[in-house]
């Protein structure tokens, strides 16, 4: 099967468990229990629970996961049940999206920015790591310039995050390309899930596909580079930045990273410690492709800012 055929097929998705829907002091909380009545959960495989060291991993020897932690395959379209405080118990998303956020290795007490946050699936993964234990220093900024998408993002925050952590979460609507001019050297970790060609949607829309031109990808690559530069200015020394897209085009993936590495000093590639089976290695990062794994496409590259 070629990649075009694969992208026209329904993609596999997962249900990621929402620990906030069970209450911190509840005995059925998934971080204390092997399972609940709705979702099977194995905490021994979850890096949010088992991390002994939160340093960036330099040598990855662990076997790839079959499925992201805290997830099961989504095999039905049933209504999502509600748990503690009427919070939704799981979020349905692409497995590769989970891996993008997991590999930023967020920990309690950090200041974290999701620069292009909507619709919010990756934001939830970041929040679950950041607020896995109470810490007054934890800070999560979710930025989305589009008013419509920002309203959807706010709804996700309300439906999935408990009221005790929401005061440490802020939703903003700034132009991401200007963010670094206003906030410098502030964040420990930043996710730039950049707007992209999104060939997975494009290939299923004949009208858009007919008018597609290479200039669209080139223009997006310029915007992606600007977002990356802006985020970099906001990142603390020794901070971590995850760049990702759902694009196939190398211009929007390794091409953006190569340009950044050539023009910026004090940048080094970070090792991506967690991966799923059938991920492909690129020159600078990794990519999940639907003809190989049944989900994606999703490109990710981790950058570290030198002291």
Rounded distance between C-alpha atoms, residue 141 and residue 130, angstroms: 12
Q: Are strands 71-73 and 14-17 parallel, antiparallel or unpaired?
A: antiparallel
Percent of the chain beyond pLDDT 70?
Answer: 82
Lowest-pLDDT choice from 86-95, 107-116, 194-203, 204-213:
204-213
Rounded distance between C-alpha atoms, residue 198 and residue 48, angstroms: 29
Full-model pTM: 0.87
- Catalytic one of 116, 196, 246, 301: 246
Q: Are 239 and 305 in contact (CB under 8 A)?
A: yes
Q: Is the predicted pLDDT of residue 159 greater than 60, yes or no?
A: yes
Sign of CA dihedral 14, 15, 18, 22: negative
pLDDT computed for residue 68 by the predictor: 95
Instruction: Please say if 301 is a catalytic residue.
Output: no
**Residue 50 Cα distances to 33, 45, 60, 113, angstroms:** 14, 8, 16, 24
For residues 1-11, average pLDDT = 79
Report residue 4's pLDDT band, with 50, 70 and 90 as the boundaries. Answer: confident
Q: Is the predicted pLDDT of residue 206 greater than 80, yes or no?
A: no
- CB atoms closer than 10 angstroms to residue 304: 17
* List of domains in the chain: 3-305 (3.40.50.150)
Q: Are strands 298-305 and 235-245 parallel, antiparallel or unpaired?
A: antiparallel
pLDDT digits (tens, 9 = 90+) for 22-65: 876 554 444 333 333 333 333 333 333 333 322 333 334 467 99
Q: Are strands 139-143 and 169-172 parallel, antiparallel or unpaired?
A: parallel
R_g of the chain computed on alpha carbons: 19
Q: Are 288 and 276 in contact (CB under 8 A)?
A: yes
């Amino acid at each position: 099967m070629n990649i075009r055929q694969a992208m026209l097929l329904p993609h596999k998705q997962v249900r990621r468990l929402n620990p906030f829907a069970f209450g911190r002091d509840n005995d059925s909380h998934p971080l204390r229990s092997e399972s609940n009545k709705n979702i099977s959960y194995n905490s021994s495989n979850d890096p949010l629970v088992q991390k002994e060291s939160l340093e960036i991993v330099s040598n990855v020897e662990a076997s790839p996961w079959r499925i992201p932690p805290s997830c099961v395959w989504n095999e039905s379209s049933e209504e999502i049940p509600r748990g503690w405080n009427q919070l939704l118990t799981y979020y349905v998303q692409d497995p590769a999206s989970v891996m993008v956020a997991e590999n930023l290795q967020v920990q309690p007490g950090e200041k974290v920015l999701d620069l292009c946050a909507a619709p919010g699936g990756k934001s939830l993964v970041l929040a679950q790591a950041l607020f896995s234990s109470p810490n007054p220093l934890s800070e999560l900024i979710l930025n989305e310039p589009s008013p419509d998408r920002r309203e959807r993002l706010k709804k996700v925050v309300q439906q999935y995050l408990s009221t005790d952590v929401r005061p440490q979460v802020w939703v903003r609507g700034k132009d991401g390309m200007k963010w670094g001019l206003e906030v410098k050297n502030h964040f420990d970790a930043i996710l730039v899930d950049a707007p992209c060609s999104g060939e997975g949607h494009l290939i299923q829309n004949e009208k858009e596909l007919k008018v597609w031109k290479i200039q669209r990808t080139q223009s997006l690559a310029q915007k992606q580079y600007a977002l990356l530069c802006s985020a970099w200015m906001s990142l603390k020394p020794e901070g971590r930045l995850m760049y990702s897209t759902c694009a196939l085009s190398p211009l929007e993936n390794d091409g953006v990273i190569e340009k950044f590495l050539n023009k910026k000093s004090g940048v080094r590639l970070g090792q991506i410690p967690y991966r799923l089976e059938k991920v492909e290695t690129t020159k600078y990062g990794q990519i999940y492709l639907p003809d190989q794994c049944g989900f994606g496409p999703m490109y990710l590259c981790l950058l570290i800012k030198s002291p």
